[in-house]
Amino acid sequence: MYRKTKLTAVAVIVTLLFLFGIITGCGGGNTGVQEDTIKIGFLGAKTGGHAAYGIPTLNGMKLAVEDINAAGGLLGQQVVIIEDDHRSQSSEGATVTQKLITQGVVAIVGDPTTGITKIAAEIAQGAGVVLVSAGAVGEGVVEIGDYIYRDTLLDKLAAPVVTKYLKEELGWEKVALVTSTNNDYSVGLSELFRTSLDEYGMEIVAEQSIQDGDQNFSAQVTALSKKEFDGIIFTGYYTEGGLFMKEVRAQGLDQVMVGGDGLLASVLWELGEDAVEGSMVYTGFAADPEGATGKTLEFINKYQEKYGELPDMFAAQGYDAVMLIADAIKAAESADPAKFKETLRQTTNWEGVSGTITFGPDREPIKSPVYLLEVKDGGWAIKAVLPVEI
């Protein structure tokens, strides 16, 4: 029994030591502000559900920083990236944002998702640090404050451009609109398409609702098969998109589908096989080593050399976010967020690797061009590069 007391006493001492370790460990994490570097924070997931967006963003950022430093740095100082992982969790997203700010970053690039961007934006705005999201497309992000920006292609700009192309180049007059009603992205995008279809005088002859997670679309497709239309506008995600088109072909219809970047995944043709051949998807960036020129080509080559794969949209936007911040700092001749947020705001017709960016009066990005991709032999092919007119 005496031994047992000793054992518990040891256990308590060990845990106390551990706690002490935690406290000192936390203290060690704080490196303080150094004067000779300009720090840019990366906010995103390197593990967890959103890692597929976070890692390419970080890769793109690293490439941008290399380019900046190779050209002599910024205001005579080297640029470094402070990175941390939030495991795709909101609460850790807030903690990481605070940590980055404590470590003296002047700007944060991230998060690729709208939700965590909103959390981080509140903190960054309060602390007076510029935040550029390289992925958030949802509503209500830049409205949080004048330190908050994003460099993504917004659906409200892309939908009219794509609609115009469908009407003028492909000669579509009548379309069928398919919406996934339990998917907010889909509901919002359908609303945008409805407006732009109306604007260009195109007619929606049939509207069908599906649900994310549905497997069988025979009822919806049967309803469509009784109408005549030139093509299908599908605003949902790739899984349903692939299966839906399979059913469309099974019932003998030959129309193709057009959708937003919710369809942008190889799963689309893995599930849809031949049925999705010719279907079109729009996106803010597509790596095309043959067709690309200038800056973009250079970026694609460098990225491929360094990481052994073609850059995706997140990588290009991560690169552009860092470059946008760097150019704003150069123009302001100051790394003080309060100063360079003003020059960032004046960004007009800025040439990036993912296109041309202008921040509009509401500080939302106006981005050109829109890449329209087509499924060809089980892969993406660029069908058209559509300019966005301001």
Partner 1 sequence: MDDFLKQFINPYYLQVLMLLGIYLIAALGLHLITGVTGQLSFGHAAFLSVGAYGAALLNIHLDLPFLLCLLAGGLLAALAGVFVGFPSMRLSGDYLGIATLGFCEIIRVVFMNLEITGGARGLAGIPRETNLLTVYILVILTIVTIYRLQNSRFGRALVAIREDEIAAECMGIRSIWYKVGAFAIGSFCAGVAGGLYAHMLQYLNPADFGFVRSFELLCFIVLGGLGSISGAILGTTILTLAPEMLRFSAEYRMMMYGTLMVAMMIFRPRGLLGGVDLRRLIRSSFRSRDRDTTTPAGG
Residues at the site binding partner 1, with contacts judged by CB under 8 A: 1-2, 4-5, 8-9, 11-12, 15, 18-19, 21-22, 25-26, 28-30, 46-47, 84-85, 87, 89-92, 94-95, 98-99, 101-102, 114-115, 118-119, 122, 126-127, 138-140, 182-184
- Number of CB atoms found within 10 A of residue 216's CB: 10
- In the bound state with partner 1, the residue whose beta carbon lies nearer, of 45 and 63, is 45
- In the bound state with partner 1, the residue whose beta carbon lies nearer, of 20 and 266, is 20
CB of 213 to partner 1, least distance (A): 11
- In the bound state with partner 1, the residue whose beta carbon lies nearer, of 6 and 227, is 6
CB of 102 to partner 1, least distance (A): 4
CA distances from 298 to 80, 218, 238, 245, 287 (A): 22, 47, 30, 37, 11
- Number of CB atoms found within 10 A of residue 91's CB: 11
Give the chain's end-to-end CA distance (angstroms, integer): 82
CB of 10 to partner 1, least distance (A): 10
Q: Rounded distance, CA 297 to CA 279, Å? A: 26
- 3-class DSSP state of 199: helix
Token match 């359908």: residue? 190
- In the bound state with partner 1, the residue whose beta carbon lies nearer, of 12 and 223, is 12
CB of 261 to partner 1, least distance (A): 17
CB of 386 to partner 1, least distance (A): 27
- In the bound state with partner 1, the residue whose beta carbon lies nearer, of 99 and 341, is 99
- In the bound state with partner 1, the residue whose beta carbon lies nearer, of 8 and 218, is 8
Q: Rounded distance, CA 329 to CA 318, Å? A: 17
Pairing state between β 257-259 and 37-44:
unpaired
CB of 119 to partner 1, least distance (A): 5
- For the chain, what is the total number of helices (H) and then of strands (E)? 12, 15
Position 158: which residue type?
A
Q: Rounded distance, CA 190 to CA 370, Å? A: 18
- 3-class DSSP state of 328: helix
- In the bound state with partner 1, the residue whose beta carbon lies nearer, of 2 and 70, is 2
CB of 240 to partner 1, least distance (A): 15
